Structure 1
Amino acid sequence: MEWIIDLLRSHSELAIFLTIALGFWIGRFKIGQFSLGTVTSVLLVGVLVGQLDIKVDEPVKSVFFLLFLFAIGYKVGPQFFRGLKKDGLPQMGFAVLMCISCLLVPWILAKIMGYNPGEAAGLLAGSQTISAVIGVAGDTINSLNISDTEKVNYNNIIPVAYAVTYIFGTAGSAWILASIGPKMLGGLKKVKAACKELEAKMGNTEDEQPGFINAFRPVVFRAYKIENEWFGNGKTVDELESYFDANDKRLFVERIRHKGNIINDINPSIILQRDDEVVLSGRREYAIGEENWIGEEVFDPELLNFPAEVLPVMINHKSYSGKALCVIRKEKFMHGVSVRTIKRAGISIPVFPQTIVDQGDTLELVGTKKEVELAAKELGYADRPTNATDMIFVGLGIFLGGIFGALAIHVGGVPISLSTSGGALITGLVFGWIRSKRPTFGYIPEPSLWVLNNVGLNMFIAVVGIAAGPSFIAGFEQVGWSLFIVGAIATTIPLIIGLLLGRYVFKFHPELILGCTAGARTTTAALGAVQDAVESETPALGYTVTYAVGNTLLIIWGVVIVLLT
């Protein structure tokens, strides 16, 4: 055991990876619907490992934190700037007002309780579940004109206050928005009815606008032998597809076997005759059972052996940005192509005919390789999966952000700046928006973005926990259990304010109020709880713009609350 302790002390990098491994493992466990989450688990394990008095070099923490902040900005950048457009301004205004309450409420409570800047920052970080505040506030504290001892004490108390308040910050937010929220908006039954009403307006009915599917409704390719007398002396491909369309089935002819020969190049005028074999593509529920009308389904490996593709496409052509899916569907190039999913700022949104497509959205298209690639060319940029990250883009972005953040103005002799971390967040926003406009460069694959985001943050948190370990228990005794109650109040009041703002000031749809409130607080867990409660995906429509604004402002508040306190 002594050998292991000495090894960890002399090789602090091993202590960090041990903390990450145990923290991610503990973060998997759930008690009912509650989980500590990865970040809190890593922090607490770091505190435990830190009892061994392990010293970690400061640059390690900063490097991972900058990677995390740049990744956050890159991810939400397109939606942040979309909020500046006319149709996004109401949601952006809502998010700004709610974020202000997320700052003022913890700050007022901190002043009442007499908390120091570190305790106030930890209260903000935990009660609003914005872990990045730990780093941003720490950078700001280090720039204050105070003694080194005070800087260390303030920085060490931040993770303690965060850990105490984060539990209710996460679980409480989900409970408030999923249980109390619908009651404040007229009752759960009324909110569910409003969700169904919005879904109906957007075309989510059994008999309207086929061809728009969720991930659990895959596109299939099936072959049938034509036996129905309806075909008589022959019907064209166009007549067959029009027949399907008239019967609310969006199915496409992809391939034909005529007199033993396979026809690959399908055009609307080709004649289909009895005893021909035809491959249809479309939603599973529409394709299955066609043997009851066309004829028997056949197993023809040669006929079905052709390239089909699932292709993510980033929308960046202005002619289709701001258009509803039902409008895009009518374009000639969408023949044979279905939309499986839509992601906005990494969040899946409902795939309804009236869903508006924004620049920077990623649509997952399904169809034959030829048809999908044609649609991708018209809509925007084929975002094919790749392992390569544009590290020139990432490195330059963080470098420029650091320079911008390091610039300071002096007020009363006190230097005020965004710090290098805040600068990395801002350039991440700008670079993410640029990439949505010019997607030929600056690509960060989703797995890489996950690593930059999650590993970057948790590496930072691990180092914070290890550094705070020796003083954590004393710090916990300092803040006491009263901080948990204060944190619960700091979590609850902004959420209530958000619900009231959405209902009486902005007059949003009830489900959008819930989504906007969850987004402004950047609590994805609460969004999932709300969607389960109202049995609808529509709250996600209010989540993305407010999530982008919340992620930006709440992190910056880490600077502000230290200066205010």
Structure 2
Amino acid sequence: MANLINSLFPPESVAFSVFVLSLTSAAGLFIGNIKVFKINIGIAGVLFSGILLSYFGLHPNEKILEFTREFGLILFVYAVGTQVGPGFFSSFKKDGVRMNLMATVIIILGVLITVALFKVFKVDMVTAIGMYSGAVTNTPSLAAAQQTIINTPFSGRVNQISVGYALAYPGAIIAIILTMIIIRAFFRKETEADMENISKHQNVSEIENVSVKVENRNLDGVKIEDIPAIDSLGVVISRIWKNGNLSVARCGDVIRLGDVLLAVGTKNNLNEFLKIVGAKSETDLNKLPSKIIHSRVVVSKKNVIGKKLSETSVYSHNVIATRVSRADVEFIISDDYVIQFADNIVLVGDENDVLRAAALLGNSPKDLNHPQLIPVFIGIIVGVFIGSIPFNIPGFSQPLRLGLAGGPLIAAIFFSYIQNIGSVSWYMPPAGNLMIREIGIVLFLSSVGLKSGDSFFQMLISGEGARIVMFSFLISMTPILIVGILMKFRYKTNYLSLCGALAGSMTDPPALAFANSLSHSNASSMSYASVYPWVMFLRIISAQILVITFLG
């Protein structure tokens, strides 16, 4: 097969390289989708298909492989940064601080175990660094290590890192899921209670509405905006029933005893609001015949981005905004709410008024689905520049650079967090982001695999290959098992949240899928997302530090 393919194309030609890269990608994606005991290796299948095709004699042009490897890496980490950027800093709020500290400890323990294996068992450090990246299922750290080793005396062994990664990766997926099962077995009663509690908490935190009858005499003649605790509770009044007439509520409307208000907020906060205002009304304002509608409006006009809703003329159309969805998170609109591109705002009012207000915000899903390419390339330019800046750290023999893995990641996180500069928006449609990310990682892994075939099989059939698999299992399982048991025993962390954080600390989607299968709750996904940005950054930096410290 290899001889036939080689005979069809001129040696070292672009056509041959493109053909082999495409064949590697297609075969690898197929392999990655094969499930064994409901577990698949996913995108890592591309790496293994590249190794196999390389072993059987398909060797594209080396320079082309270097380019596709580096460009694929840039696309991948930039897309990852764009995805995690909006929630990067908010992930350190509330419980996110503890979860991120937990993930940091897991990373440090993994690095220390890798160093211990190098010192005690004399594991080759080049292979050990790849083993570290594979054992934590983190492809960007592999890329960062390969980028950094190029500037060391070991640059000729850059492919050896990917060999360690490939040997470690499959066992790592099993180790993470096995850890979750062990923790559940140790704390069976607690985990069952956790699943019940998280379900109740999720219902409480969801935004809903309730019709409230005004019965507090102290509120007779008070404006809606002056109702005690209405701002602190995060409650919005969208409609008012007064003297048999239903109308859109305004902040300056005066309420009277017997009026009925449609209040929007979380269940707990609405219960507190009921205590202040009166009681739940038998008249459900949502079910009354009326011309008043509520509609979700997508922000797609650039001239409103970065403004407060009150700074636009939306409210002049006799509508009220109650809630907004951003990055799959829904919250009540407050006075300091600033409009961002692709926000999904709920407007309440007469149908014609809502349509006019929606036109001011854009409300064009078609515009959202059209990716803005100029900001993407600006971000990549800035990222490559940042990655090339050297900075000195005391104790290191050479300056540290974020490289093509770290620079674009930092730039993407920054730009996607600030969302826009003037009319230039760094919003990327989810489908577009996914496409760029998948193309990038496929190009990177296929290039890495095609350059590593011979070395992989030489190590696999030797005794060293078995040692690498065993040692990588220690790197994968030991830190998360120790920290997981500690978090459950000492800090009583909810089991579902803990599983999500453990999966996030290893940036492992298959482990997250397993955690999500344990319950209908989104607790695992939320904790995964809260640690993912910080973990991704630390994994990249830690791999570079290992290279500079022991190979620089």
TM-score (norm 2): 0.72
1:193 aligns with 2:196: yes
Q: 1:509 to 1:372 in 2, by over 3 A?
A: farther
Paired residues of 2:168 and 2:473 also in contact (CA < 8 A): yes
Q: Deviations over 1:155-205 (max 9, x none)?
A: 22222222221112223323422563474475431221221342354259x
1:26 corresponds to 2:31: yes
Identity over aligned pairs, percent: 22
Count of aligned pairs between the two proteins: 465
Q: Please say if 1:52 is aligned against 2:58.
A: yes
User: Does structure 1 conserve the Cα–Cα contact (< 8 Å) formed by 2:484 and 2:498?
Assistant: yes
Aligned mate of 1:423, from 407, 415, 421: 407
Alignment of 1:207-246 (within 5 A): 209=209, 236-237=245-246, 246=281
Matched, 1:454 2:441: no
Which stretch of structure 1 is more off in the superposition, 530-539 or 80-89?
A: 80-89
**Cα distance in 2 for residues equivalent to 1:248 and 1:525:** 48
Deviation larger for 87-96 or 545-554 = 87-96
The amino acid that maps onto 2:404 is: T
Specify which of 14, 17, 32 is matched with residue 12 of structure 1: 17
Task: Note the alpha carbon deviations across 1:347-400, whole angstroms, 9 max, x for none.
Answer: x56x6999xx9998976567879648848979x998765453333322222222
Task: State whether residues 312 and 364 of structure 1, in contact with CA within 8 Å, keep that contact through their aligned partners in structure 2.
Answer: yes
Give me the whole-angstrom Cα distance separating, in 2, the residues matched to 1:543 and 1:561. Answer: 25
Q: Is the Cα–Cα contact under 8 Å of residues 126 and 164 in structure 1 kept in the other structure?
A: yes
Specify the SS of the correspondent of 2:89. helix
Q: Is the 8 A contact 1:141 1:151 kept in 2?
A: yes
1:413/1:332 CA distance change after superposition, 3 Å: same
1:42 Cα deviation after fit:
0.5
Counterparts of 1:37 and 1:421 in 2: how far apart (Å)? 21
Structure 1 332/112 Cα, relative in aligned 2: closer, same or farther at 3 Å? farther
Name the aligned partner's letter for residue 433 of structure 1: Y
Q: Which amino acid aligns with 1:389?
A: P
Counterpart of 2:48, as a letter, is L
2:45 counterpart (27, 41, 48): 41
Q: Using the alignment, how far apart are the partners of 1:164 and 1:240 within structure 2?
A: 66
Asked if 1:90 is matched to 2:98, the reply is yes
RMSD: 4.2
State the Cα distance separating 1:116 from its structure 2 match: 2.4
Q: Using the alignment, how far apart are the partners of 1:406 and 1:180 within structure 2? A: 43
Out of 474, 496, 518, the position equivalent to 2:458 is: 474
* 1:437-473 deviation digits (Å, cap 9, x = unpaired): 8785223222221122111011011011111123321
* C-alpha distance 113-177 of structure 1, shift in aligned 2 (>3 A): same
For the 8 Å contact 2:88–2:413, the answer to whether it is kept is yes
Change (3 A) 1:197 1:448: closer
Pairwise CA distance, 1:427: 1.3
Taking the aligned partners of 1:170 and 1:151, their CA distance within structure 2 comes to: 29
User: Is 1:65 equivalent to 2:73 in the alignment?
Assistant: yes
- Aligned ranges for residues 177-326 of structure 1 at < 5 Å? 177=180, 180-181=183-184, 183-184=186-187, 186-202=189-205, 209=209, 236-237=245-246, 246=281, 251=286, 266-267=291-292, 311=298
Q: What does residue 539 of structure 1 align with?
A: 524
> Which digits, 9 at most, give the CA deviation of each residue in 1:91-132, with x for residues without a partner?
433333333233333333343332223212221211111011
Contact 1:120–1:562 (CA<8 Å) still a contact in 2? Answer: no
SS at match of 2:377: helix
Alpha carbons 2:297, 2:345 under 8 Å: kept: yes
2-side partners of 1:131 and 1:556: how far apart?
Answer: 13
Change (3 A) 1:491 1:385: farther
Match status 1:396 vs 2:402? no
Change (3 A) 1:111 1:343: farther
C-alpha deviations, 1:456-511, integer Å up to 9, x for none?
01101101111112332113235322222222221112212332453456554443
3-state DSSP of counterpart to 1:480: helix
TM-score w.r.t. length of structure 1: 0.70
Cα deviation code 1:10-53 (max 9, x no counterpart): 32111111111111122222123111212x21111111222323
**Matching residue of 1:117:** 125
The whole-number CA distance in structure 2 between the counterparts of 1:543 and 1:316 is 29
Ranges in structure 1 where 5+ consecutive residues have no aligned partner: 212-233, 257-265, 268-279, 282-307, 321-330
Deviation at 1:142, TM superposition (A): 0.8
Partner of 1:115, secondary structure, is coil
1:81 pairs with 85, 89, 94, which one?
89
